Structure 1
Amino acid sequence: MSTHDLTSPMAQRVAASMARQGLMVHLDAKLVRVEKGEVEIALPYADKVTQQQGGFHGGAMGALADIAGGYAGLTVLPEGMEVVTAEYKINFLSAHQEGELRAIGKVVKGGKRIVVTTADVFHIDAQGKKSLCAVMQQTLVPVAQTY
């Protein structure tokens, strides 16, 4: 899998915010790509992200989609702003074990009061096969950064 330059100011802003998220740190989520209006995050398979049958847990998939969409939204907001999720709706399409998940968040509409995003969650197996396993739509609210 290719690596992406994460040294741009926009990528550094997202990385700094993501490093403050205890859940993403605990789950070992990694920032893969940051562009204006689009963010990709990876989540490796591990016992801490599974459900009782050994597949990726829907809660972990939802959290990954929420974070990817949220950070995509952040990329269209000015410095000094953050976002909080007002709501999201997710459809789980398939279950997977092993490999990793990749969530790609994209801004549909950026605004001063709300930001609407989508996220596609893909499973990537050991051979590199990519399968869509969840889709999400999200509403974000811009808020002042408090740290």
Structure 2
Amino acid sequence: MAASRFDSPEASIAYMKEVAVKRSGFSNWLDVEPIKVWEGESELLLALRPDMTQHHGFAHGAIVGLMADNACAWAAASAVGDVVTGSYTISFLAPAIGTRLRSKGTVIKAGKRQVVVRAEVWAEDDGGASKLVACAQGTIVPKGQIEQKR
């Protein structure tokens, strides 16, 4: 398990709510809720709304992708600091049908130039049922490694 850059699990959640959600237009509009962002692991929750679905009524793939991407990036951020996504690959396994999405990210390896993370996205309903709907692997880049153009 990766060490955390935060002093406590509560501090990490407070930071992610303020920075990763409130300052990100898309995550803020979706109202993504960080549940855990600690020591190289993350868990996020998203209540699904009708405006997040595609024509069959499933959660849109872009929404499922955001949950995988954020789970990867937030797990990495908990270990190495401010990050951006370099790339991710997602496999959609089943239609995302339910009342909410839950994603979990786990750092596989944190290096100086990149962090490799895997994520799972689950669709859940109010009756307690859950189904794995996507899995992803991401390469996350610590912000200090990003070349800034002026």
TM-score (norm 2): 0.85
Give the number of equivalent residue pairs.
Answer: 138
Letter in 2 for 1:82: D
Partner Cα distance (1:16, 1:36) in 2: 19
Give the conservation status (yes or no) of the 8 Å contact 2:13–2:35: no
Tell me, yes or no, if structure 1 residue 141 matches structure 2 residue 144. no
- How much has 1:94 moved relative to structure 2? 0.5
Further displaced range: 31-40 or 128-137 = 31-40
Letter in 1 for 2:77: L
Q: Which secondary structure state, in structure 2, belongs to the residue aligned with residue 75 of structure 1?
A: helix
Tell me, yes or no, if structure 1 residue 68 matches structure 2 residue 71. yes
Give the match for residue 86 of structure 2.
Answer: 86
Give the 3 Å change call, closer, same or farther, for CA 118–7 of structure 1 in structure 2.
closer
Give the match for residue 18 of structure 2.
Answer: 16
What is the Cα-based RMSD across aligned positions, in Å?
A: 1.9
- Report % sequence identity: 34
Letter in 2 for 1:8: E
**Which structure 1 residue ranges, 5 or more long, are not aligned?**
1-5
Letter in 2 for 1:14: M
Tell me, yes or no, if structure 1 residue 43 matches structure 2 residue 61. no
Partner Cα distance (1:50, 1:130) in 2: 18
Give the match for residue 56 of structure 2.
Answer: 53
TM-score (norm 1): 0.86
Partner Cα distance (2:98, 2:129) in 1: 12
Give the conservation status (yes or no) of the 8 Å contact 1:89–1:138: yes
Give the match for residue 95 of structure 2.
Answer: 95
**Which structure 2 residue ranges, 5 or more long, are not aligned?**
1-7, 145-150
